[in-house]
Amino acid sequence: MLMTLFTGAFLVFIGMMFISGMSGSSLESIEQVFKEPDNPSFLSVLRILTTLNQIGAFLVATWLFMRVFGKDSVEGLYFKSFNPKLWLIIPLAMLSASPVIDVFMHLNNWFIPEGSWVEAMFKPMEDEGAVITQALLTMDDPGTLIFNLLIIAVLPAIGEELAFRGVLQNQIAKSTKNIHTAIWISAFIFSAYHMQFYGFIPRLLLGAFFGYLVVWTGSIWPSIIAHLVNNTSAIVAMYYAQSSEDLNLGELPQMDASPDFLFAGIGAIILTLCLFLVWRENKWNEIKERYLAWSRMDLFDDKNFLD
């Protein structure tokens, strides 16, 4: 994780240097832009630096890890084929999970009571993040929607899954020799990394789900697909909400006083069925020995280690 923080910050700094050189502005003035959401340059600078941070923190960090420790250290990130029917089941699972996630979002907020010391600790960070989120999700034309899908849906879905499920989860599993511990610790770090504590529990559960997808299918592709569907559906829903008369551009939808438990119940039933169908494809016993081994040297007693 230190590598992701370093590479992400490094590319953001390079981006700021580039913007400074192109605009003739000082680094201090560019930093000041982030304190002024009404500044005309705020959104363009934010999009550039957000893109660079995603690339640096996840794609570059993962590449560096594999260069230093080798592809075998993470089994090539498990870019392997999986049962084609899961291409339909996984998106359905993520869409049906949406109302269930809403219930856990409300539960999460219940743990941060209004006026409590917990709120005093986390609310300022949440408000600051909301300003950035609101700016990024301002979509007044299809071109902006497509751009947002690339930097908020596609890039995170690929980069974060490579870093958290492809590398971090795998390395924790090798250290603890327990796949469940690895999945939940990496999911916890994944949720904490986003620094959005009002959505900590739902993101924790999503991270665990993505982790189990990897070990159940023996491939990282299903977790990337699930992550992509989750992000894409949220962005598209926001775009159409802004296109209606209910929301102004950039305005975030407010949660209802209580979630729709009937809708959540139906979603939970469909989600459970989808999870069962995915679990039936369980490849863990096939990949367990290789997944938990530090290197191929640990597998010499396995006659099939070269398969």
Give the DSSP per-residue string, 129-143: HHHHHHHHT---SHH
Instruction: Provide mean pLDDT across the span 82-88.
Output: 91
pLDDT at 91 over 50: yes
The tokens describing 196, both together, are 């959005």
246 compared with 102, residue with greater pLDDT: 102
Number of Cβ within 10 Å of residue 82's Cβ equals 21
pLDDT digits (tens, 9 = 90+) for 9-66: 878 888 888 887 877 777 778 777 767 777 878 888 888 888 998 999 899 999 999 9
pLDDT at res. 246: 57
User: What CA–CA distance (Å, rounded) separates 118 from 107?
Assistant: 15
pLDDT at res. 304: 44
Q: State what percent of residues in the chain have pLDDT above 90.
A: 46
How much is the mean pLDDT over the chain? 85
pLDDT at 152 over 80: yes
pLDDT at res. 196: 83
Q: Which range is most confident: 9-18, 130-139, 266-275, 280-289? A: 266-275
CB-CB contact of 57 with 7 (8 Å): yes
Closest CA to 98 of 230, 213, 209: 230
pLDDT at 296 over 80: no
User: What CA–CA distance (Å, rounded) separates 70 from 52?
Assistant: 25
Chain centre to alpha carbon of residue 302: 35
Chain centre to alpha carbon of residue 30: 27
pLDDT digits (tens, 9 = 90+) for 209-247: 999 999 999 999 999 999 999 999 999 988 888 776 555
User: What CA–CA distance (Å, rounded) separates 8 from 163?
Assistant: 12
Instruction: Provide mean pLDDT across the span 240-268.
Output: 70
Q: Which DSSP state fits 252?
A: P
pLDDT at res. 146: 93
pLDDT at res. 172: 95
Closest CA to 192 of 180, 214, 178, 207: 207
Residue 135 C-beta-side C-alpha neighbours within 13 Å:
22
CB-CB contact of 260 with 99 (8 Å): yes
CB-CB contact of 152 with 231 (8 Å): yes
